[in-house]
A and B are shown apart, each in its own frame.
Chain A
Amino acid sequence: MIRAEDISFHIGTFHLRGLSLEMAGGEYFVLLGPPGSGKTIFLECLCGLKKIASGRIHIAERDVTELEPRTRGIGYVPQDYALFPHLSVEQNIAFGLRVHGYTEMNVTETADMLGIRHLLRRPIEGLSGGEKQRVALARALVLKPKVLLLDEPVCALDEVTRQDVCTQLLGIQRQLGLTTVHVSHNLEEAFSVADRAAILHQGVLQQVGSLDALLRKPKSEFVARFMRCENIFDARVKQQNPSGLNTVVEVSTLELQIPGRHNGKVQFMIRPEDVQVRCGLTPDGRSENTFSAALERWRDCGGYVRVELAGPVNLLAHMTHGAFAGLKARQQRSVVVQMSIEHIHVLSVQGQAAMRKERTA
């Protein structure tokens, strides 16, 4: 278990502000954020490599805030691995054991677990990225740490190796039951391994939760955009739906229904994969949030087709290959688009009072 309470740290103009996070025992937690958001600094604070200005850090029910890195019981894999170039693979893995003066060496056992026994006699120079990553992991695991802290552990690897290593990381984490914090800016990586994730931006924690919650229910425009949602709209409330459950809003010239009761200005989103596109010239009028649009551009992204639509609002849809083939796509072909209410998520609301204040200002 790791608990960070109200962590503050500053260096130059960068500030980590009142960051609180808790990772449960045996949880694989991914800390996401763009470069420069403070992920690595936070990890180094957990390691004790950076002294925090305020707050407390607990690792495995022990307050380690004032403890040196060597006594925190952590396994740390830094970015680019920082393998000692003057030592062999075996000496790198055994480094921590030698420092502690352990005579019983479980280097081979750890190397076997990671499938790098054949590399033990090799120098660090000449190892591939994936091999280096495994050696760094073995070096961190050989001391049987209570928690594992990984700083962008697979960012330097190619796509295929990255996926392999992520699978292996998760397997080892599950096998050892280690609480793991994995720092990354890559969403695919997070989806490969994370039980839960958090998003950090400019030293401020934006949201914590399951990846599904971050994906479908982001709390801010930043989180939505970081989770690669481009369909974000600013709208003005027109009226409450008679049912009282939805609100009718105006986006450009389009009237749409969004879930909940709101007034003033709202910002809402819909994920590209939730936008429904079908053949047809005009909407049938029976379904809500349906309108005509034209196919602007499309691109095969491997697992799906990215379709850009131009209409009363510009929209992005991710379609399966099968569904896209059904459109018989050609440039400017008219299609019918539906944004189902249940897939619309309201990001923020600016009430009437706030709008009046803004106008006065």
Chain B
Amino acid sequence: MKSATNTPVRGWRDRVFSAAAFLFVTVFIAFVLVLIVTDVLYVDRKAVLTVLTSKFILHALWMSIWTSLLTTLIALLFAVPMGYALSRFHLPGHILADAIVDLPIVFPPLVAGLTLLVFFSATSLGRWIQEDLGLEFVFQPKGIVLCPFVAAASFAIRSAKTAFDDVDRRYENVALTLGCTQWGSFHRVSLPLARNGIIAGGILTWARAFGLFGPLMIFVGSFRGRTEVLSTTIFLEQSVGNLEVALAIALLLILIALIAVTGIRLVGGSALVRL
């Protein structure tokens, strides 16, 4: 006897359609895997040892991890109130504000680095922040947080707005009649219901920040042991002819990204629904 499944009875046309859709998935994943395998085959044992023992590369790894996490945290701090405000309050000019939020997603990341460099070095406000307030960003480690924030925070804000859009306002209305203030209905109802979308935005922001290269080269440079991160190390290594080492670092970057993104999905997936 055939086992029952929770899917409709399908004819051959449906099977062809499913197979065609799955074919695209297979082709894409196979292509990415082939690229990674090519890198693996190109890298030798010596390059791997170099990566694992070089204190500059390990420093760059550490810088990449903490700066990208800090960037994500700051982006989320902005994204949650901004996403809620853009979703719920239709103030004059909200369409323009919405469009400006999306700008960094559209323009090339390089522009973020260039714009920040011009702002902090060629405007009086930028110089005042750097010189009088003592918040130095240009060619400084702090810039490794600010630059990805400008380039990637929009992902978190956009995701948060979409997540709050998806929360039915009637939930908030009921919470208001049950004794909540607007803040109460936000943190007791809307925020928990929007959580998955907000975290998805955080993952996108982290991914963008972790792998950012162009704007960092312009805004903070790549000084060994100071402002160097994994993405800029790859560039430095390949520019001096160490292609194997560059690829070994790239593989390290890919591995960390894969572990992080899969891990969040596996751990967060069920936990987020239950919490």
**Residues of chain A whose beta carbon lies under 8 Å from any beta carbon of chain B:** 44, 47-49, 68-70, 72, 74-76, 78-80, 82, 84-86, 95-96, 99-100, 139-140, 143
Contact = CB atoms under 8 A, between A and B. Distances in A.
A96 B184 CA distance: 11
Given A78-B170, A82-B171, A49 B176 contact: yes
Interface centre among A72, A74, A99 (most CB of B within 10 A): A99
B173 A99 contact: no
16 contacts: A44-B173, A49-B177, A70-B181, A76-B174, A82-B170, A82-B173, A84-B175, A85-B193, A86-B275, A95-B175, A95-B178, A99-B180, A100-B179, A139-B178, A140-B178, A143-B178
Nearest to A77: B174
A99 B184 contact: yes
Interface of B: 168, 170-171, 173-181, 184, 188-189, 192-193, 275
Contact of B193 (A44, A68, A78, A86): A86
A78 B168 CA distance: 12
A139 to B, nearest CB: 7
Contacts of A74: 177
A95 B185 CA distance: 11
B179 A84 contact: no
Contacts of B193: 84-86
Nearest to A100: B179
A99 B178 CA distance: 8
Contacts of A68: 176, 181
B178 A96 contact: yes
A84 B172 CA distance: 9
B198 to A, nearest CB: 14
Contacts of A48: 176-177
B173 A143 contact: no
A49 B177 CA distance: 8
B192 A86 contact: yes
Contacts of B178: 70, 95-96, 99, 139-140, 143
Contacts of A69: 173, 176-177
Nearest to A95: B178
Contacts of B275: 86
Contact of A99 (B170, B171, B188, B192): B188
Contacts of A99: 175, 178-180, 184, 188
Contacts of B175: 84, 95, 99
Contact of B177 (A47, A84, A85): A47
Interface centre among A70, A74, A140 (most CB of B within 10 A): A70
A69 B175 CA distance: 9
Nearest to A145: B177
Nearest to A50: B173
Given A84-B189, A86-B193, A78 B173 contact: yes
B171 A84 contact: yes
B166 to A, nearest CB: 12
Given A84-B189, A85-B193, A78 B174 contact: yes
A276 B2 CA distance: 63
B89 to A, nearest CB: 15
Interface centre among A48, A78, A143 (most CB of B within 10 A): A78
Interface centre among B171, B173, B177 (most CB of A within 10 A): B177
Contacts of B174: 76, 78, 82, 84, 139
B20 to A, nearest CB: 33
A76 B177 contact: yes
A179 to B, nearest CB: 16
B190 to A, nearest CB: 10
Contacts of A100: 179
Nearest to A136: B174
A143 B171 CA distance: 17
Contact of B179 (A44, A47, A49, A70): A70
